[in-house]
Structure 1
Amino acid sequence: MKKLLFPLAIVLFFGFTKDPEIQIDSKDKEWIMKHLTESREHMKQVLDGLSDEQLDYKPDPTSWSIAENVEHLALTEKMFVEMLHKSIADGPKPELKDSLVFKDDQIMPMIADRSQKVKTAEPFEPSGQFGSTEETLGALLAIRQELMEYIETTEDDLRNRYAKLPFGTVDAAQFIVFIAGHMERHVLQMEEVMEDEDFPQM
Protein backbone atom coordinates (compact mmCIF):
# COMPACT_ATOMS: atom_id res chain seq x y z
CA MET A 1 0.00 0.00 0.00
CA LYS A 2 2.83 2.43 0.92
CA LYS A 3 4.51 1.67 -2.40
CA LEU A 4 1.37 2.84 -4.20
CA LEU A 5 0.91 6.01 -2.11
CA PHE A 6 4.37 7.45 -2.84
CA PRO A 7 4.04 7.49 -6.65
CA LEU A 8 0.52 8.87 -6.26
CA ALA A 9 1.82 11.73 -4.12
CA ILE A 10 4.43 12.56 -6.79
CA VAL A 11 1.78 12.63 -9.50
CA LEU A 12 -0.49 14.87 -7.42
CA PHE A 13 2.35 17.27 -6.55
CA PHE A 14 3.50 17.77 -10.12
CA GLY A 15 -0.01 17.69 -11.46
CA PHE A 16 -1.05 20.72 -9.39
CA THR A 17 2.24 22.67 -9.35
CA LYS A 18 2.64 25.19 -12.16
CA ASP A 19 5.98 25.91 -13.75
CA PRO A 20 7.37 29.27 -12.61
CA GLU A 21 6.54 32.03 -15.06
CA ILE A 22 9.28 33.25 -17.37
CA GLN A 23 10.54 36.69 -16.31
CA ILE A 24 11.11 39.71 -18.52
CA ASP A 25 14.37 39.61 -20.47
CA SER A 26 16.95 42.28 -19.56
CA LYS A 27 17.35 43.17 -23.25
CA ASP A 28 13.63 43.85 -23.48
CA LYS A 29 13.91 46.16 -20.46
CA GLU A 30 16.77 48.06 -22.11
CA TRP A 31 14.84 48.34 -25.38
CA ILE A 32 11.71 49.63 -23.66
CA MET A 33 13.55 52.06 -21.37
CA LYS A 34 15.55 53.47 -24.27
CA HIS A 35 12.40 54.53 -26.10
CA LEU A 36 10.56 55.75 -23.00
CA THR A 37 13.55 57.86 -22.00
CA GLU A 38 14.38 59.24 -25.45
CA SER A 39 10.80 60.27 -26.24
CA ARG A 40 10.40 61.97 -22.83
CA GLU A 41 13.68 63.85 -23.16
CA HIS A 42 12.84 64.93 -26.71
CA MET A 43 9.56 66.38 -25.48
CA LYS A 44 11.21 68.22 -22.58
CA GLN A 45 13.81 69.64 -24.94
CA VAL A 46 11.15 70.95 -27.34
CA LEU A 47 9.08 72.51 -24.55
CA ASP A 48 11.99 74.10 -22.73
CA GLY A 49 11.71 77.88 -22.52
CA LEU A 50 8.52 78.29 -24.57
CA SER A 51 6.30 81.24 -23.66
CA ASP A 52 2.54 80.98 -23.13
CA GLU A 53 2.06 82.69 -26.49
CA GLN A 54 4.20 80.06 -28.20
CA LEU A 55 2.51 77.19 -26.35
CA ASP A 56 -0.94 78.39 -27.40
CA TYR A 57 -0.11 79.27 -31.01
CA LYS A 58 -2.05 77.46 -33.77
CA PRO A 59 -0.96 77.54 -37.42
CA ASP A 60 -4.65 77.41 -38.37
CA PRO A 61 -7.99 76.98 -36.56
CA THR A 62 -8.10 73.23 -37.16
CA SER A 63 -4.58 72.54 -35.84
CA TRP A 64 -3.60 71.74 -32.28
CA SER A 65 -1.32 74.06 -30.38
CA ILE A 66 1.74 72.74 -28.57
CA ALA A 67 -0.18 73.01 -25.29
CA GLU A 68 -3.05 70.96 -26.73
CA ASN A 69 -0.62 68.25 -27.84
CA VAL A 70 0.71 68.08 -24.28
CA GLU A 71 -2.80 67.67 -22.91
CA HIS A 72 -3.65 64.99 -25.45
CA LEU A 73 -0.53 63.09 -24.38
CA ALA A 74 -1.49 63.36 -20.71
CA LEU A 75 -4.98 62.00 -21.45
CA THR A 76 -3.85 59.14 -23.68
CA GLU A 77 -0.82 58.10 -21.65
CA LYS A 78 -3.01 57.68 -18.57
CA MET A 79 -5.36 55.46 -20.59
CA PHE A 80 -2.48 53.48 -22.11
CA VAL A 81 -0.97 52.74 -18.70
CA GLU A 82 -4.36 51.56 -17.44
CA MET A 83 -4.61 49.26 -20.48
CA LEU A 84 -1.13 47.92 -19.77
CA HIS A 85 -1.94 47.10 -16.15
CA LYS A 86 -5.12 45.36 -17.25
CA SER A 87 -3.19 43.21 -19.73
CA ILE A 88 -0.75 42.27 -16.94
CA ALA A 89 -3.61 41.43 -14.57
CA ASP A 90 -5.29 39.28 -17.23
CA GLY A 91 -2.28 36.96 -17.08
CA PRO A 92 -0.35 35.06 -19.75
CA LYS A 93 -2.14 34.31 -23.03
CA PRO A 94 0.31 32.26 -25.12
CA GLU A 95 -2.46 31.45 -27.61
CA LEU A 96 -2.23 35.06 -28.88
CA LYS A 97 1.43 34.87 -29.84
CA ASP A 98 0.63 34.08 -33.47
CA SER A 99 -1.68 37.12 -33.64
CA LEU A 100 1.14 39.69 -33.47
CA VAL A 101 1.06 42.01 -36.48
CA PHE A 102 4.42 43.82 -36.14
CA LYS A 103 8.03 42.99 -35.47
CA ASP A 104 9.72 44.94 -32.68
CA ASP A 105 11.68 47.25 -34.97
CA GLN A 106 8.50 48.29 -36.81
CA ILE A 107 6.63 49.64 -33.78
CA MET A 108 8.41 52.97 -33.20
CA PRO A 109 8.61 54.18 -36.83
CA MET A 110 5.05 53.06 -37.53
CA ILE A 111 3.42 55.10 -34.77
CA ALA A 112 5.77 58.10 -35.03
CA ASP A 113 5.17 58.44 -38.79
CA ARG A 114 3.46 61.80 -39.34
CA SER A 115 2.65 61.13 -42.99
CA GLN A 116 -0.48 59.29 -41.86
CA LYS A 117 -2.87 61.61 -40.00
CA VAL A 118 -5.35 60.09 -37.54
CA LYS A 119 -8.24 61.85 -35.80
CA THR A 120 -8.37 61.09 -32.09
CA ALA A 121 -11.44 59.93 -30.21
CA GLU A 122 -13.50 62.60 -28.44
CA PRO A 123 -12.41 61.67 -24.87
CA PHE A 124 -8.82 62.48 -25.83
CA GLU A 125 -9.53 65.84 -27.43
CA PRO A 126 -7.81 68.67 -25.51
CA SER A 127 -10.22 70.70 -23.36
CA GLY A 128 -8.01 72.32 -20.72
CA GLN A 129 -9.07 69.93 -17.99
CA PHE A 130 -5.66 69.78 -16.29
CA GLY A 131 -5.37 73.55 -15.88
CA SER A 132 -2.23 75.31 -17.06
CA THR A 133 0.25 73.75 -19.47
CA GLU A 134 2.70 73.51 -16.58
CA GLU A 135 0.18 71.49 -14.56
CA THR A 136 -0.66 69.36 -17.59
CA LEU A 137 2.99 68.62 -18.25
CA GLY A 138 3.49 67.73 -14.59
CA ALA A 139 0.64 65.21 -14.80
CA LEU A 140 2.06 63.72 -17.99
CA LEU A 141 5.59 63.39 -16.61
CA ALA A 142 4.22 61.77 -13.43
CA ILE A 143 2.42 59.14 -15.52
CA ARG A 144 5.56 58.50 -17.58
CA GLN A 145 7.67 58.22 -14.41
CA GLU A 146 5.25 55.68 -12.96
CA LEU A 147 5.52 53.62 -16.14
CA MET A 148 9.32 53.78 -16.18
CA GLU A 149 9.54 52.75 -12.52
CA TYR A 150 7.30 49.79 -13.28
CA ILE A 151 9.61 48.68 -16.10
CA GLU A 152 12.70 49.10 -13.92
CA THR A 153 11.30 46.93 -11.13
CA THR A 154 8.98 44.42 -12.82
CA GLU A 155 9.68 40.76 -13.37
CA ASP A 156 6.44 40.23 -15.32
CA ASP A 157 6.74 38.34 -18.58
CA LEU A 158 5.68 41.17 -20.90
CA ARG A 159 6.12 38.97 -23.98
CA ASN A 160 3.26 36.78 -22.82
CA ARG A 161 0.73 39.53 -22.15
CA TYR A 162 -1.15 41.16 -24.99
CA ALA A 163 -3.11 44.25 -25.94
CA LYS A 164 -5.47 44.67 -28.86
CA LEU A 165 -5.06 48.00 -30.65
CA PRO A 166 -7.00 49.30 -33.68
CA PHE A 167 -4.29 48.03 -36.03
CA GLY A 168 -3.97 44.59 -34.40
CA THR A 169 -2.49 42.68 -31.48
CA VAL A 170 0.80 43.58 -29.78
CA ASP A 171 2.53 42.03 -26.80
CA ALA A 172 2.95 44.16 -23.68
CA ALA A 173 6.60 44.98 -24.43
CA GLN A 174 5.62 46.22 -27.89
CA PHE A 175 2.69 48.11 -26.40
CA ILE A 176 4.96 50.10 -24.09
CA VAL A 177 7.19 51.04 -27.04
CA PHE A 178 3.97 52.03 -28.85
CA ILE A 179 3.32 54.43 -25.94
CA ALA A 180 6.78 55.93 -26.41
CA GLY A 181 6.17 56.19 -30.16
CA HIS A 182 2.87 57.96 -29.58
CA MET A 183 4.67 60.61 -27.52
CA GLU A 184 7.34 60.96 -30.19
CA ARG A 185 4.62 61.41 -32.83
CA HIS A 186 3.16 64.37 -30.96
CA VAL A 187 6.55 65.89 -30.21
CA LEU A 188 7.13 65.89 -33.96
CA GLN A 189 3.74 67.59 -34.32
CA MET A 190 4.89 70.24 -31.82
CA GLU A 191 7.99 70.82 -33.92
CA GLU A 192 5.81 71.26 -37.00
CA VAL A 193 3.92 74.02 -35.16
CA MET A 194 7.23 75.71 -34.29
CA GLU A 195 8.29 75.61 -37.95
CA ASP A 196 5.25 77.61 -39.07
CA GLU A 197 6.29 80.95 -40.55
CA ASP A 198 4.06 82.89 -38.15
CA PHE A 199 5.17 81.07 -35.01
CA PRO A 200 5.81 83.74 -32.33
CA GLN A 201 9.47 84.57 -31.79
CA MET A 202 11.09 84.99 -28.40
Structure 2
Amino acid sequence: MKKSLLLMLVVLCAGFVPPKVAINAHRDDKTLLLTQLTETKNNLLKEVQGLSEEQLKFKPAPDRWSVIECVEHITRVEKGMYDGEQQLVKEPADPSKRANIKITDQQIITGVEDRSKKFKAPEQFVPKDDQTPQQTIQNFITQRDAVIAYVTNTTDDLRNHVTDKSPMGPIDAYQLLLLDAAHTNRHTQQIVEVKNSPNFPK
Protein backbone atom coordinates (compact mmCIF):
# COMPACT_ATOMS: atom_id res chain seq x y z
CA MET A 1 0.00 0.00 0.00
CA LYS A 2 1.42 3.34 -0.98
CA LYS A 3 2.23 5.89 1.69
CA SER A 4 -0.10 8.34 -0.08
CA LEU A 5 -3.10 6.12 0.68
CA LEU A 6 -2.19 6.06 4.36
CA LEU A 7 -2.07 9.86 4.35
CA MET A 8 -5.42 9.92 2.56
CA LEU A 9 -6.96 7.68 5.18
CA VAL A 10 -5.63 9.91 7.94
CA VAL A 11 -7.33 12.86 6.22
CA LEU A 12 -10.65 11.06 5.90
CA CYS A 13 -10.61 9.53 9.36
CA ALA A 14 -9.31 12.50 11.35
CA GLY A 15 -12.84 13.66 12.10
CA PHE A 16 -14.25 10.18 12.44
CA VAL A 17 -16.70 9.69 15.28
CA PRO A 18 -17.44 5.96 15.68
CA PRO A 19 -20.96 5.02 16.87
CA LYS A 20 -21.10 2.97 20.04
CA VAL A 21 -23.27 0.28 18.47
CA ALA A 22 -22.90 -1.49 15.13
CA ILE A 23 -25.70 -0.26 12.88
CA ASN A 24 -25.42 -2.38 9.78
CA ALA A 25 -23.57 -5.47 8.63
CA HIS A 26 -21.36 -5.55 5.56
CA ARG A 27 -23.10 -6.01 2.22
CA ASP A 28 -21.61 -7.81 -0.74
CA ASP A 29 -23.69 -6.08 -3.40
CA LYS A 30 -22.87 -2.68 -4.85
CA THR A 31 -26.20 -1.03 -4.11
CA LEU A 32 -25.17 0.93 -1.02
CA LEU A 33 -21.89 2.10 -2.53
CA LEU A 34 -23.40 3.21 -5.83
CA THR A 35 -26.24 4.96 -4.01
CA GLN A 36 -23.80 6.86 -1.80
CA LEU A 37 -21.55 7.85 -4.70
CA THR A 38 -24.48 8.99 -6.84
CA GLU A 39 -26.45 10.79 -4.14
CA THR A 40 -23.44 12.68 -2.78
CA LYS A 41 -22.54 13.73 -6.33
CA ASN A 42 -26.07 14.98 -7.00
CA ASN A 43 -26.33 16.74 -3.65
CA LEU A 44 -23.07 18.59 -4.22
CA LEU A 45 -24.06 19.68 -7.72
CA LYS A 46 -27.44 20.84 -6.42
CA GLU A 47 -25.73 23.10 -3.88
CA VAL A 48 -23.45 24.77 -6.45
CA GLN A 49 -26.01 25.01 -9.25
CA GLY A 50 -26.89 28.56 -10.24
CA LEU A 51 -24.26 30.22 -8.03
CA SER A 52 -22.45 33.20 -9.48
CA GLU A 53 -18.66 33.39 -9.57
CA GLU A 54 -18.81 35.86 -6.69
CA GLN A 55 -20.86 33.42 -4.63
CA LEU A 56 -18.64 30.46 -5.52
CA LYS A 57 -15.53 32.35 -4.43
CA PHE A 58 -16.96 33.97 -1.29
CA LYS A 59 -15.06 33.18 1.93
CA PRO A 60 -16.86 33.58 5.27
CA ALA A 61 -13.47 34.42 6.81
CA PRO A 62 -9.86 34.59 5.58
CA ASP A 63 -9.10 31.17 7.06
CA ARG A 64 -12.28 29.51 5.73
CA TRP A 65 -12.75 27.86 2.36
CA SER A 66 -15.10 29.13 -0.30
CA VAL A 67 -17.70 26.95 -1.99
CA ILE A 68 -15.47 26.31 -4.98
CA GLU A 69 -12.48 25.53 -2.76
CA CYS A 70 -14.56 22.86 -1.05
CA VAL A 71 -15.33 21.35 -4.46
CA GLU A 72 -11.65 21.37 -5.41
CA HIS A 73 -10.66 19.75 -2.10
CA ILE A 74 -13.26 17.01 -2.55
CA THR A 75 -11.90 16.27 -6.02
CA ARG A 76 -8.26 16.24 -4.88
CA VAL A 77 -9.01 13.82 -2.05
CA GLU A 78 -11.18 11.64 -4.28
CA LYS A 79 -8.46 11.26 -6.90
CA GLY A 80 -6.01 10.16 -4.23
CA MET A 81 -8.53 7.80 -2.66
CA TYR A 82 -9.46 6.24 -5.99
CA ASP A 83 -5.80 5.80 -6.96
CA GLY A 84 -5.17 4.15 -3.60
CA GLU A 85 -8.16 1.84 -4.00
CA GLN A 86 -6.91 0.83 -7.43
CA GLN A 87 -3.53 0.00 -5.92
CA LEU A 88 -5.19 -2.05 -3.18
CA VAL A 89 -7.20 -4.23 -5.56
CA LYS A 90 -4.04 -5.05 -7.51
CA GLU A 91 -2.72 -6.83 -4.44
CA PRO A 92 -3.76 -10.47 -3.80
CA ALA A 93 -7.22 -10.83 -2.28
CA ASP A 94 -7.13 -12.33 1.20
CA PRO A 95 -10.56 -13.32 2.59
CA SER A 96 -8.98 -14.31 5.91
CA LYS A 97 -8.36 -10.63 6.69
CA ARG A 98 -12.08 -9.93 6.72
CA ALA A 99 -12.32 -11.30 10.24
CA ASN A 100 -10.23 -8.34 11.42
CA ILE A 101 -12.71 -5.74 10.14
CA LYS A 102 -14.69 -4.43 13.09
CA ILE A 103 -16.32 -1.36 11.58
CA THR A 104 -19.54 -1.50 9.57
CA ASP A 105 -20.38 0.34 6.38
CA GLN A 106 -22.95 2.52 8.12
CA GLN A 107 -20.51 3.44 10.87
CA ILE A 108 -18.11 4.70 8.22
CA ILE A 109 -20.81 6.81 6.58
CA THR A 110 -22.13 8.43 9.75
CA GLY A 111 -18.72 8.78 11.41
CA VAL A 112 -16.99 10.64 8.58
CA GLU A 113 -20.00 12.85 7.81
CA ASP A 114 -20.07 14.19 11.39
CA ARG A 115 -18.72 17.77 11.26
CA SER A 116 -18.68 18.27 15.03
CA LYS A 117 -14.93 17.59 14.83
CA LYS A 118 -12.87 19.59 12.35
CA PHE A 119 -9.25 19.36 11.29
CA LYS A 120 -6.73 20.94 8.94
CA ALA A 121 -6.16 19.25 5.58
CA PRO A 122 -2.58 18.32 4.62
CA GLU A 123 -1.00 20.71 2.14
CA GLN A 124 -1.37 18.43 -0.88
CA PHE A 125 -5.15 18.43 -0.45
CA VAL A 126 -5.51 22.16 0.17
CA PRO A 127 -7.26 23.93 -2.75
CA LYS A 128 -4.96 25.83 -5.12
CA ASP A 129 -7.73 27.83 -6.82
CA ASP A 130 -5.81 27.69 -10.10
CA GLN A 131 -8.74 26.98 -12.45
CA THR A 132 -12.04 28.60 -13.27
CA PRO A 133 -14.99 27.61 -11.07
CA GLN A 134 -16.62 25.95 -14.06
CA GLN A 135 -13.55 23.80 -14.71
CA THR A 136 -13.27 22.90 -11.03
CA ILE A 137 -16.88 21.68 -11.00
CA GLN A 138 -16.34 19.76 -14.24
CA ASN A 139 -13.23 18.12 -12.76
CA PHE A 140 -15.37 16.82 -9.90
CA ILE A 141 -18.02 15.49 -12.27
CA THR A 142 -15.43 13.75 -14.45
CA GLN A 143 -13.67 12.21 -11.46
CA ARG A 144 -16.86 11.02 -9.77
CA ASP A 145 -18.29 9.60 -12.99
CA ALA A 146 -15.09 7.57 -13.39
CA VAL A 147 -15.47 6.13 -9.89
CA ILE A 148 -19.15 5.30 -10.45
CA ALA A 149 -18.35 3.63 -13.78
CA TYR A 150 -15.62 1.58 -12.13
CA VAL A 151 -17.87 0.36 -9.33
CA THR A 152 -20.66 -0.42 -11.79
CA ASN A 153 -18.51 -2.46 -14.16
CA THR A 154 -15.70 -3.91 -12.09
CA THR A 155 -15.25 -7.59 -11.36
CA ASP A 156 -12.72 -6.79 -8.62
CA ASP A 157 -13.51 -8.49 -5.32
CA LEU A 158 -13.86 -5.30 -3.32
CA ARG A 159 -14.69 -7.05 -0.06
CA ASN A 160 -11.65 -9.33 0.06
CA HIS A 161 -8.99 -6.70 -0.57
CA VAL A 162 -8.34 -5.39 2.93
CA THR A 163 -5.92 -2.76 4.20
CA ASP A 164 -4.87 -2.43 7.83
CA LYS A 165 -3.44 1.06 7.27
CA SER A 166 -6.61 2.87 8.28
CA PRO A 167 -6.71 4.80 11.59
CA MET A 168 -10.14 3.21 12.17
CA GLY A 169 -8.71 -0.30 11.82
CA PRO A 170 -8.81 -2.72 8.89
CA ILE A 171 -11.22 -1.79 6.09
CA ASP A 172 -11.84 -3.24 2.65
CA ALA A 173 -11.74 -1.64 -0.81
CA TYR A 174 -15.53 -1.24 -0.82
CA GLN A 175 -15.33 0.72 2.42
CA LEU A 176 -12.52 2.89 1.06
CA LEU A 177 -14.91 4.17 -1.59
CA LEU A 178 -17.67 4.59 0.99
CA LEU A 179 -15.22 6.81 2.86
CA ASP A 180 -14.83 8.86 -0.28
CA ALA A 181 -18.59 9.37 -0.64
CA ALA A 182 -18.93 10.27 3.04
CA HIS A 183 -16.11 12.78 2.69
CA THR A 184 -18.03 14.42 -0.16
CA ASN A 185 -21.09 14.75 2.05
CA ARG A 186 -18.99 16.16 4.87
CA HIS A 187 -17.83 19.03 2.69
CA THR A 188 -21.21 19.50 1.05
CA GLN A 189 -22.40 20.30 4.57
CA GLN A 190 -19.56 22.81 4.74
CA ILE A 191 -20.76 24.37 1.47
CA VAL A 192 -24.23 24.79 2.97
CA GLU A 193 -22.63 26.49 5.98
CA VAL A 194 -20.84 28.93 3.66
CA LYS A 195 -24.06 29.69 1.79
CA ASN A 196 -25.81 30.37 5.11
CA SER A 197 -23.16 32.90 6.17
CA PRO A 198 -24.62 36.36 6.96
CA ASN A 199 -22.49 38.08 4.31
CA PHE A 200 -22.96 35.53 1.54
CA PRO A 201 -23.55 37.49 -1.70
CA LYS A 202 -27.15 37.68 -2.85
**1:98 alignment counterpart:** 99
Closer, same or farther: CA 159–186 of 1 in aligned 2, 3 Å? same
Q: Which amino acid aligns with 1:118?
A: F
Matched, 1:58 2:66: no
**1:154 alignment counterpart:** 154
Gaps of 5+ in 2: 1-25
Would the aligned equivalents of 1:57 and 1:199 in 2 still touch at CA under 8 Å?
yes
**2:37 alignment counterpart:** 36
Question: Please, what TM-score do these two structures have when normalized by structure 1?
Answer: 0.82
Matches within 5 A, 1:1-202: 28-129=29-130, 131-163=131-163, 164-201=165-202
Counterpart CA distance in 2 for 1:133 and 1:77 is 18
Q: Which amino acid aligns with 1:105?
A: Q
Count of aligned pairs: 176
Q: CA RMSD in A?
A: 1.6
Gaps of 5+ in 1: 1-24
**Could you list the per-position Cα deviations for residues 94-135 of structure 1 after superposition, in whole angstroms to 9, with x for gaps in the alignment?**
343233241111111111111110211110011124x11111
**Could you list the per-position Cα deviations for residues 15-48 of structure 1 after superposition, in whole angstroms to 9, with x for gaps in the alignment?**
xxxxxxxxxx996211110000100000010000
Look up the SS of the partner of 1:168 in the other structure. coil
Displacement after TM superposition at 1:169 (Å): 2.2
Displacement after TM superposition at 1:93 (Å): 2.4
Would the aligned equivalents of 1:70 and 1:133 in 2 still touch at CA under 8 Å?
no
Bigger-Rg structure (1/2): 1
Look up the SS of the partner of 1:92 in the other structure. coil
Give % identity.
Answer: 33
